[in-house]
Structures are given as structure tokens and as C-alpha cells.
Chains A and B, each alone.
Chain A
Amino acid sequence: MSTSTSHTEQTIDVKDVDDGKTKLRKWLNTNFRIEMTDGRVLIGVFLCTDRDANVILGACSEYLKGSEMDSEEPRVLGLVMVPGRHIVSIQIDDTTPPQKYYYDE
């Protein structure tokens, strides 16, 4: 069943010349804001994900629920993995256009 849905999606995506993977790839190295099931908010750089939406964020900071962001002191966590089942919402920061870094030969 899942193969058929993904297949239809893929055909739709192909119309946009983008499949899901390419779109996800564009988001790599941008800032994500993830709200978790327990209400905490994590802000960090999107580094990695998989089919189960387990997301790895780099340089992550944790903010407590309900508090306005600038009034609350973030707790620096560093590198974290958020299991997909604990993700409530994902937001992307579109102020910084995605940048690509390459190693110079």
C-alpha cells in the first residue's frame, strides 16, 4: 500500500521536477524549530533524517513551553536526535536562504 502512495506522490513530484528527497535535501543545514510532544521547543540546524522522521539537529537549543523565546534562557544541548513519534510540528527558518558548502579541492 505504501509503495503505491509513494509512487503517486512521486509522479506528482516529478511534475514539479522535485521528488521528496530533493526537497528534503534543500532543507539540510537550515534552521529548524521543532515542537515536541512534551511541549519543549528545539531550535537547531537540520542535519539528517530518515523515513521515520527521526530528525538530527546540530547546535540545538532547548526552550521551555509557553515562555516567550527571548525571556527564557535556552539550554544548550548540542547534537540531538528527535524521534519522529515525538515531533508535533516542524518549522523552517526562511530568513537565511539555504546555503551549500563545498570543500575546495
Chain B
Amino acid sequence: RIDKAPVVILHFDCMDLGTGGISFSKPGSSGQSPSVVDNQSEPPQINADVYDPVTEVEVTSTKSPIFNNIYPQNQWTMDSSGATTEVIYNWVDITQDFFKHIQDLKIGELLHDGHLFGLFEAMSAIEMMDPKMDAGMLCNRGNPKPLNFQQAVDAGKLKIDDLEPAELIGIIDATMACIVSWLEGHSLAQTVFTNLYLHQPHSIINKTLKAYCIAVYKLLDCIRDCINKAQVFEEEDFQPMGYGYRLGSNPQGGETYDASHKVSEQKCIAMLREQGEELIKKAKSTEEEDKDNLWIALAARIRFTRMYYQAILLITKKDSQSGADCVALLNGCSDMMKVIIRTSGKGTQPVENSDSPNPMGFEPMINQRLLPPTFPRYTRIKPRPEALQYFDEQVARLRHAWKITSCASFHTALDFFMEFSRQRACILSRSALQLLYLSPSPATTASMAQSAMNTPPGQPRPQHAFVEILRESVKNFVNPPALTPKSPMISTPQAREFVENFLARCVRPFAVLLQVCGHNRARQRDKLALLLDEFAALQEEAESVDAVVSGAAGTGPRACFGTWVLYHVLRIMIAYLLSGLELELYSVHEYHYIFWYLYEFLYGWLVSALGRAESLANDATRRDSRDSRKRKPKKRVRPYAREGLLCQVMQNLCGGYYKALVAFKLQGKIRQPGAEFDSEAVRYKHRFAPLAVLTPPQVHYHEFCEMTQPLQYENPVILYLGGCKHFQQARSLLETVTTPDQEIQDLLKVAKTNFIVLKLLAGGHKRDSTTPPEFDFSVHRHFPIIKLV
């Protein structure tokens, strides 16, 4: 009897991840759900078109095509025979009685079946008629029912032949706007697939439009493939769900799967090329002298689509031969984009105050009923000019991302990744960068390394290119004797194996580090914290490798590998703390220990790690040159001079902030939390918790208190002057940089301004004011300009 009891409210949202994307499923439906996914890549079974929502929307079937794998058993069936729509109801009106009876309830009293349903369950209900929760509300705002492709064609509202070039341009530009909206995190169903032409591209007679629509299918598939491979997206970045639209090789061609509609990549490109050429011919044959006539404008769009698709395809497939091609294609895209933006006014424009991105061909509500119940967010398609601008910038970002292929060492590559991330690039270019650096992607490399670690020790490990990259990185950084071929140490098999094992172990954490750099800025923080755990294990290993290698060589201990790992650990720690400033997680009254930690420890340690690396590397060079006397003495190269200098700059900035903040506190300028709600020790512990597992050991709160105790009795003026000195120091260090980039210039501005502000404060300016100073992060994301108000 328990089985029959309707203990149902199954609000587990499970996800099925597969090649076809992601679909939601409920426990127990796992047997069914893969078929949805498979359906996109395999020839379907007889009934497979049930999953085809485009043509099935209007066809009566018992279940919603998309979600029949989702809520298979959530009918609260009263009998086990299963309540389907076949059930005959006998409705009896009880409105009057109901409203009368509820008056017997007290205010706030819930009438429910205490065994099965309680307040907890009630909390997860969707509230009807709430525009934020109720997607269905939009379906009947008095609008007529949206027409599907066939209905729209029959009604004469959708031209599939004899389209004017202006109409084609309008459709294409609107589709581009939809693609941009998708790439900004909206669902396909509410963006690109509101375009009715895409529902049955093979039924379109106009050849240009048909080729374009088929290409869009292929393009979407390729983009999704790229983003899925890189695995640097979160739900707020990107929605990979396909809603049953068959992306990829077989664009929808009617009600059933048709093998003849299969379009290969080559065929798709050839179709676009052919159309592009035809349009150019038409452009030449017209009387119009205007260099931007409609045919030229249309041809530019088709050519852009082709080259963009080809470029993304090359990036996703990562064909090492195709480097030059890809650059040429992206340059071509940029050129075409200029024409497209210039001629964007030539296409049909959306009707003012209309939700549809183009007068013809788009039906914003067409997929509304495919959406899950709590998927309301009505998607506003990005306005056309902004969308075209987005494409233009994206192509530029992709071109920039391509430069990663010429980053010789891991260090420069890592810097490149971090710099790229700072620019808050879009999801596609972030993904492309991942694929371009490591094939197939850092994410795959990491998981492969993980599984390789689990193979029994006897079996040979699969060698990965990334191991070589890391080996080079260590070699360049500290030049350990163990990695020098001539070194006597390499002859000890045990030492050699230790080194190889260590390098193999490095693969996963370092690949994940690259992957983390690809995530959006807000997500990086938590991921860095997780990564620190892995690096802690790596540090231990590095120490034992150093010990074994030094022992085998009979030399004194040389912490080569240890220094290399330490350097990266410190960088991650700093990035973690700084990201809290960027994400505005800290309160102003917390700033002082954040900056203190960075100033007293992390940057100092980083400077000394760089110094140690340099001396280790130089040791090795001297050792080498002793072997070959003839080589003229090398000029002392300081590869990390600039980095070391920047570290000192940052250290001074942090010191300046720290001293200023303490002085502010002493003068009562900073609002403190009420003592009864506050424990600085708890906050301190929480802020630095992820740093606890590593060497160098975390500096604990009591140490912080001890170390900063004397300052409590300091004269604020002395502190301001001390801060002033730090900013002055930072400034003069920055001015020694010969080729200042944007970052340096920004830092310089911050240092200069804060120097003046602290000088004023030291001079007694606004001494008695308790108005809190403002911290303005608009010039630099981590280092604010202090403003007195």
C-alpha cells in the first residue's frame, strides 16, 4: 500500500549530460532519457520523431515531446493504471462551497494532509500568475496563438520564395542578434529557434536563405561543441540544451528524419560559397553604382557566415596545419563585419515596441510551451546594432586568442590566460582560448591525467604533450640539474622515476589552473580555493623529489621543484585574495587585514621565490659554463626582472593601503560592525581559510594581533606618512618601466593619486571628520583610489 501512496513531489532536478547536450531528468526516468540525447546523433527509431518538437508542437500526442522523459511519473495517480489524458473526468463545481468552507480556517492556518504534505513541500510550489515564476502567463496575453512554419507559410505570412534582398538582410541580422542572445546565456528555444525558417530549412525555396539557415544549424552545433569541450561555462554563461532541435549534421527537414537532409561540413561551406559568389555576380549586374548596394550587403553576410563557421570549425577541431587559414578567415570576418555594420540599416527593421526581432520570420512565443515550468524569463533579444557590435568584437577576441598558439612557455601562456580573463571575454572566445592552447582542452587533459593516475603502477602511463610543456617550464624557471641531460643525476634510475612521476602529477593541477582561468571572473574565486588543496599535495611531493634528487647527486639540498610549485601557489593565493576585492566581497572594515596579509607576506614571499629561482637557474648556468670553458661568460639575464618589480609595486601599494586603513580606524573614520554581532577572529579565519593547507603556513589571527598591536598606539599622522612613502615607492618603481602597458598606467595613476591623498591627510586635512573615505575601484579592479568626501 505504501507503493500506491502518492508520496511524489519529486523535485530532484537531475541532468543528463551527453553528446547531444544536457537534458533534465527525474530519478527513475534514466532508462528513457538517453534516447533524447542519442536521437541527435543517430538515425532514430521508428517513433523517434516524437522528440521532434518543431513539427510536433501542434500535433496531438499524449505527452509534451521534450518533457516526456522528465515528468514520467509525477501524476499523482489515484490508481496504478496510470492517469493519462484519456481519463474521463466528471467535474462538479464547488466554487461556492470552497470559498465558504475556507472561512473556517484561521489566518495563517494551512489545511493539508499532515502525513504527506507540509510547509516544506509547499515552499517549492510555483506561484501562478507571478510573472517571475509563471512562464505560461505570457502565452495568453490576448495574443493569437503563434503560427508554426507550415501554418505561417499557408497563411502567407512567411515567404519562402521571392524574398527581397532587404528582407533577407533583415532576417539574417535578426538571426545574428538571436545568436548573440544565446551566447549571452539565454536558451536556444527562446532565441535562435524563434526563427521559423530554422524549423524547416529544407522547405525554403529561396536558395540563399536555405543555405543560410542550414549553416546556422551547423554553426550552432559547432559553437556548442567548442564550448562543451572547453568546459569553462556555468549555467549563467551558457545554455547548451538543444530543446530537441537536431543540431549538427541533420537540420530539420519536415516531420520525419530524412537522411537526404544530412549536410556535411564541406557541403555546407560549399553552399555558402556558391551563394556568396552568386550574390556578388548579382551585385555587379545591377545598375546601382553604390558600393554598398543591397546585393553587396547580402553577400557580405553570407561570406561572413561561411568564414566564421570555418574559423570556429578549425578552432574546435584544432587542426595544427590550419593556423594561417584560421587567421586569414578571422581577418576576413572582420572585414565583412565592417560592411555588415555599415549596411545594417538596409535590411527590414523590427517594428517599434515589438518583441519580434524582425517583422517576418520570427515568433517569440513559438517555443514557450517547450520550456520547463519554472523557466519564465522572457528573453529580450539583443538589439541589432549591439549584437553586430558584439560579433565584431568577438571576432577580434578570437583573433587575439589565436596568439596563444605562439606562446612558447607555460609561464607566458599562463600570463596570457590571466590577461585574457581580465578582459572579461565572452564564453565562446574563452572556450576557444582553452582549445587553442591544449588539444583537446585543458579540461580533458586534467581528467585524462586523473584517470592515468589510477592505472596500476606496472602499466606505462600515456604520455601527454602537457608534461613536456611543464618540463620546459621547470627547466626555464629553475633549471634543475635533474632535467639537464648531461647531468650525472639523471643516471640514477630512481631519481629519474621520481622526477617523471612528479611531472605526471603536475599535469592535473596545472591543467585545471588553466581551465579555471577560462571561467567567468565570479566563479574563479571558489575554483582557485579548491585548487589550492591540490597544490598543497603537489608541494609535499615537490619537497620529497628535491630531497631524493639532491640525495642522489650528493649535493646540498636544492629546492628546485619546490620553488617552482611555491611560485605558482603564491600566485594563486594572491589571485584568490585579490578576487575578493574585485568581486566586492570584503567590507571596508576588513580591508586592513587583507592588505596587511598581501603586504607583509604574500608579495614578499613571491619576490623571494623569484629571487631564489633566479639564483638556482644561475647556479645551473654557471655549472654548465664550467663544463665548456670556451663559451664566453653569459650576460646575466634576469628574466623575471619585470615580474619581480611589479611584485614590489603591489607590495608597496598594499602597504600603503594597510597603513592608511589603520590610521582611518584610529581616527574613527571607518564604520565598525556592532561589537555584539562581530568577531574579527571569525571573519579573519574565514577570509584566509583556503590558505590554511599550504606551505608557507597560514598566518593566524593571534599572530596578526600580535604583529599589529603596536600600531594601535601609533600616531595616525605617522601612519599616513608611512603609507605615503609606500605609494611614492610604488610610483617610482612603476616609472622605471620602459614600455608601460595599460595595467602599468592604471597602477601609476592609483599610486600617484593615493600619494597625494595621504599627504593631505598627514597634513591634518579633514582630521576631525568621521565621514568614511570612499574606495574607488574604477581605475583598477584591485587597487582602489582613496577618496575623501
Bound together? yes
Interface residues of A (CB under 8 A from B): 2, 5-6, 9-10, 13, 19-21, 23-25, 27-29, 31, 33, 36-40, 42-45, 47-53, 56, 58-59, 62, 64-65, 69-71, 73-84, 86-96, 99, 101-104
Contacts of A88 in B (CB 8 A): 95
| A38 contacts B137, C-beta separation under 8 Å | yes
Contacts of A73 in B (CB 8 A): 57, 60-61, 64, 369
Residue B67 is within 8 A (CB to CB) of chain A in the complex: yes
Closest Cβ–Cβ distance, residue A72 to chain B (whole Å): 8
| B89 contacts A6, C-beta separation under 8 Å | no
| B109 contacts A50, C-beta separation under 8 Å | yes
Question: Measured between alpha carbons, how far is A88 from B369 in the docked complex, in Å?
Answer: 23
Question: Measured between alpha carbons, how far is A96 from B94 in the docked complex, in Å?
Answer: 16
Question: Measured between alpha carbons, how far is A74 from B63 in the docked complex, in Å?
Answer: 8
Question: Measured between alpha carbons, how far is A83 from B8 in the docked complex, in Å?
Answer: 22
Question: Measured between alpha carbons, how far is A103 from B128 in the docked complex, in Å?
Answer: 31
Contacts of A87 in B (CB 8 A): 95
- Write out, one digit per residue, whether chain B residues 118-162 have a CB within 8 A of any chain A CB (1) or not (0): 000110111111000000110110000000000000000000000
| B122 contacts A48, C-beta separation under 8 Å | yes
Residue B78 is within 8 A (CB to CB) of chain A in the complex: yes
| A51 contacts B4, C-beta separation under 8 Å | no
Number of interface residues of B (CB under 8 A): 64
A-B contact pairs, 20 of them (CB 8 A): A31-B89, A37-B129, A38-B137, A42-B128, A43-B89, A59-B76, A64-B140, A74-B85, A78-B74, A80-B126, A80-B127, A81-B122, A81-B127, A81-B128, A91-B95, A92-B91, A95-B88, A101-B1, A101-B115, A104-B1
By DSSP majority rule, is chain B's interface helix, strand, loop, or mixed?
A: loop
Question: Measured between alpha carbons, how far is A36 from B130 in the docked complex, in Å?
Answer: 12
Residue B111 contacts which of A25, A33, A86, A99 (CB distance < 8 angstroms)? Answer: A25
Question: Measured between alpha carbons, how far is A57 from B93 in the docked complex, in Å?
Answer: 17
Closest Cβ–Cβ distance, residue A3 to chain B (whole Å): 10
Given A33-B89, A77-B373: A59 and B128 interface contact (C-beta under 8 Å): no
Question: Measured between alpha carbons, how far is A21 from B104 in the docked complex, in Å?
Answer: 6
| A50 contacts B110, C-beta separation under 8 Å | yes
Chain B residue nearest in CB terms to A12: B100
Closest Cβ–Cβ distance, residue B287 to chain A (whole Å): 52
Given A28-B112, A47-B117, A51-B105: A36 and B129 interface contact (C-beta under 8 Å): yes
Contacts of A74 in B (CB 8 A): 64, 85
Closest Cβ–Cβ distance, residue B59 to chain A (whole Å): 9
Contacts of B108 in A (CB 8 A): 50-51
| B111 contacts A24, C-beta separation under 8 Å | yes
Residue B585 is within 8 A (CB to CB) of chain A in the complex: no
| B112 contacts A38, C-beta separation under 8 Å | no
Contacts of A13 in B (CB 8 A): 104
| B373 contacts A83, C-beta separation under 8 Å | no
Residue B109 contacts which of A5, A29, A44, A51 (CB distance < 8 angstroms)? Answer: A51
Residue A29 contacts which of B76, B107, B121 (CB distance < 8 angstroms)? Answer: B76
Question: Measured between alpha carbons, how far is A49 from B75 in the docked complex, in Å?
Answer: 20
Contacts of A48 in B (CB 8 A): 110-112, 117, 122
Question: Measured between alpha carbons, how far is A31 from B95 in the docked complex, in Å?
Answer: 14
Residue B97 is within 8 A (CB to CB) of chain A in the complex: yes
Closest Cβ–Cβ distance, residue A18 to chain B (whole Å): 9
Residue B6 is within 8 A (CB to CB) of chain A in the complex: yes
Residue B113 is within 8 A (CB to CB) of chain A in the complex: yes
Closest Cβ–Cβ distance, residue A36 to chain B (whole Å): 6
Question: Measured between alpha carbons, how far is A94 from B88 in the docked complex, in Å?
Answer: 10
| A78 contacts B71, C-beta separation under 8 Å | yes
Chain A residue nearest in CB terms to B117: A47
Question: Measured between alpha carbons, how far is A51 from B369 in the docked complex, in Å?
Answer: 32
Closest Cβ–Cβ distance, residue B94 to chain A (whole Å): 5
| A56 contacts B99, C-beta separation under 8 Å | no
| B111 contacts A50, C-beta separation under 8 Å | yes
Residue B713 is within 8 A (CB to CB) of chain A in the complex: no
| A75 contacts B113, C-beta separation under 8 Å | no
